Amino acid sequence: MTNVTTTLRNASLDDLVGVLRAQADLRFDHVAAAGRLAFDGGNLVIADATEAIITESGVAPGNATLRPTDVFDGGIAEKLGIPVKYLRRMRLEAIAEGERLFSAAWSEDGPVVPNRYADLLDANVNTWLMADPERKFLVRGFLAPGSDTGVARAFLSNSYGMYDNLDFLMAGLSGAREAGVGLDVIEANLTERRMCVKVACPEVAALAPTLLRNYRSPFDNASPERARMLEEHGWLRPDDRPVVFAGFVLSNSETGNGSWSITPQITVQACTNGLTIKADALRGVHLGAKLDEGSVRWSDETMRRNIKLISSQAADAVRSFTTVEYVEARVAEIEQAAGVAVTKPVETLERVGKQLGFSKAEQDLILADFIAGGQSTAGGFMQAVTSVAQRVEDPDRAAEFEDVALDVLAAAAKFAE
């Protein structure tokens, strides 16, 4: 079975690039009609997807057997019209049943019986695949050269336009450097759903004394590891604490979970809280020409053209995001709501949490950082959400926290009035 790292949290740029290069060596993209696809024991089998195998009894077809990820299951449920909660329940029951049967096989009276839930999962998926056997899909996976077993990571339309993480990252950073500003990659995250890289531009700084009035970083008493990380960036100088930096976030999905984007983000020097300005983001959808059946291999010319386009767009976007004028204008807009006093923080947080989907446990973390931050304002809630985002273990959820920080600000100001 193909082994590959798919998750990184708070990683360095070098670590991220190393993982992406290892993934590139295992990349397997294949377009197949539904009639060539089937579930067997809960795994995806693609007929004739690899080179034929010569055996003692003759030539065997080169079928690829891929273990689906949760992202893949979500994609196949959406494309085939199967309720995703039902499909995932079948998957979980099949796994649990397999564990029970494995244990029983080693006991004295353990019966050898089929896994009924795996059979149910297979029957459901295969029935809907065969409802339209000519319909074509793109399967994205990982498969080691010469192997016939790997990982199925995405189930997509055959007109999905592929911008892979490594290419997008290199193009985005190249374009940003072309814009002529200094870059400081402060955080890199990777999951099966998306890559997210936070970049600060410390040379483009502005004072934000109103926004940061009375604010205390919840990381002031952080772990030694956290303190060293901040010190490496030179961001713990007390006299500079009302400072914010220009910056941006590079985000991309290889598995159909969103467009690629370059989004401006204002970084608070004292704590690296990131205020994401979604309204000004540059985005590109993953849409391309319909792909023919078979393994997908991009030509060098196509890759160069895609990289050049993204690099050019990134340079233009970063030039507009990384000016003192832009940062000061966005800070002024944020300050209009940030100073609204919050007299009932628990009640306000409950209403904000309900509107924006924060769990009770997440609300408790936000409230703790709100209190530690020392700002009894709507801006204090915004800061708390972005500081909690830095400690959330799930990289996808952390990105969601930062994406809604300004929504939290608006909601808290509204409810507090």
Q: What is the pLDDT of residue 45?
A: 96
CA distance 248 to 278: 10
Please check whether residues 328 and 380 belong to one and the same domain.
Answer: no
In a domain, 3, yes or no: no
pTM above 0.85, yes or no: yes
**Are 215 and 200 part of one and the same domain?**
yes
In a domain, 371, yes or no: yes
Categorize the per-residue pLDDT at 59 as very low, low, confident or very high, splitting at 50, 70 and 90. very low
In this structure, how many other beta carbons lie within 10 angstroms of the beta carbon of residue 279?
Answer: 10
Tokens of 368: 């703790």
The predicted structure's pLDDT at residue 286: 64
Q: Does 317 lie in the same domain as 369?
A: no
Mean pLDDT of 145-172: 90
Quick check: 196 and 399 in contact, CB under 8 A?
yes
Amino acid 366: pLDDT: 97
Where does residue 21 rank: exposed (0-12), middle (13-18), buried (19+ CB within 10 A)? exposed
Q: pLDDT at position 38, please?
A: 97
Residue 148 and residue 36 share a domain: yes
Q: How confident is the model at residue 287 (pLDDT cuts 50, 70, 90)?
A: low
Pair 181, 230 in one domain: yes
Contact partners, residue 248, CB within 8 Å, separation at least 6:
176, 199, 262, 263, 264, 265, 317, 318, 321, 322
pLDDT of residue 396: 95
Band (55; pLDDT cuts 50, 70, 90): very low
Residue 147 lies inside a defined structural domain of this protein = yes
Does the residue 292 lie in any domain? no
Residue 375: domain span: 339-416
Residue 103 pLDDT level (bands cut at 50, 70, 90): confident
- What per-residue confidence (pLDDT) applies to 269? 86
Where helices occur in 241-394 by DSSP H, the ranges are 300-321, 324-338, 345-356, 360-373, 378-389
Answer with the one of 157, 192, 225 that is the final residue of a domain: 157
Q: Say whether both 252 and 190 belong to one domain.
A: yes
171 and 312 assigned to the same domain:
yes
Q: What is the predicted pLDDT for the residue at 159? A: 86
Last-in-domain residue among 113, 136, 157: 157
Say which residue, 269 or 55, is predicted with more confidence: 269
More confident residue, 330 or 299: 330
The DSSP letter of residue 219 is T
Stretch 315-336: mean pLDDT, rounded?
93
Q: Considering just the CA atoms, what is the radius of gyration of the chain in Å?
A: 25
- pLDDT of the residue at 163: 83
4-13, 268-277, 403-412: least confidently modelled range = 268-277
Quick one: which H or E segment has residue 49? none
The predicted structure's pLDDT at residue 238:
42
Residue type, 393: E
Q: Which of these, 150, 155, 96, lies nearest to 120 by C-alpha position?
A: 96
Q: Is 2 within a domain? A: no
pLDDT at 124: 97
Instruction: Tell whether 354 and 301 lie within a shared domain.
Output: no
Residue 152 lies in a domain: yes
* Residue 146: predicted pLDDT: 84
312 and 345 part of one domain:
no
Q: Please, where are the H alpha helices in 29-164?
A: 70-80, 84-105, 116-129
- Are both 30 and 129 inside the same structural domain? yes
291 located within any domain: no
Residues 6+ apart with CB under 8 A from 293: 31, 32, 33, 136
What percent of the chain stands above pLDDT 70? 85
Q: How many domains does the chain have?
A: 3
Chain centre distance of CA 369: 24
Looking at the fold, whether 141 and 259 belong to one and the same domain comes out as no
Residue 155: count other Cβ atoms within 10 Å of its Cβ: 25
Structure tokens at 315: 């340079």
The top-scoring range by mean pLDDT among 111-115, 165-169, 280-284 is 165-169
Residue 305: its pLDDT value, please? 75
The lowest-confidence range among 21-35, 193-207, 222-236 is 222-236
Distance of alpha carbon 85 from alpha carbon 269, whole angstroms? 42
Residues 198 and 64 in one domain: no
Please give the average per-residue pLDDT across 274-286, as a whole number: 87
Between vectors from CA 308 to CA 307 and to CA 313, what angle results, nearest 5°? Answer: 100
**What pLDDT shows up at residue 194?**
96
Amino acid at 354: K
DSSP label at residue 417: -
Count CA atoms closer than 13 A to 394's CA, side-chain side.
7
Task: Pull the structure tokens for residue 304.
Answer: 């160069």
**Within a 10 A sphere around the Cβ of 107, how many other Cβ atoms?**
8
Whether residue 392 is predicted with pLDDT greater than 60 in this model: the reply is yes
- Cβ atoms of 281 and 261 closer than 8 Å: yes
User: What was the pLDDT predicted at 234?
Assistant: 62
The identity of residue 28, as a single letter, is F
Find the largest Cα–Cα distance for the chain. 79
What local confidence, expressed as pLDDT, does residue 33 receive? 94
User: What pLDDT, on a 0 to 100 scale, did the predictor assign at position 235?
Assistant: 57
Q: Is the pLDDT of residue 121 over 50?
A: yes
Overall average pLDDT of the 189-201 stretch: 96
Q: Give the pLDDT of residue 99.
A: 85
Tell whether the model's pLDDT for residue 360 goes beyond 60: yes
Rounded mean pLDDT, 266-291 = 82
The residues with which 156 forms a beta bridge, in sequence order, are 138
Q: 30-44, 93-107, 165-179: lowest mean pLDDT where?
A: 93-107
Tell me which of 406 and 105 has the higher pLDDT: 406
Range among 44-53, 123-132, 218-227, 242-251 rated most confident: 123-132
Q: Does residue 23 sit within a domain? A: yes
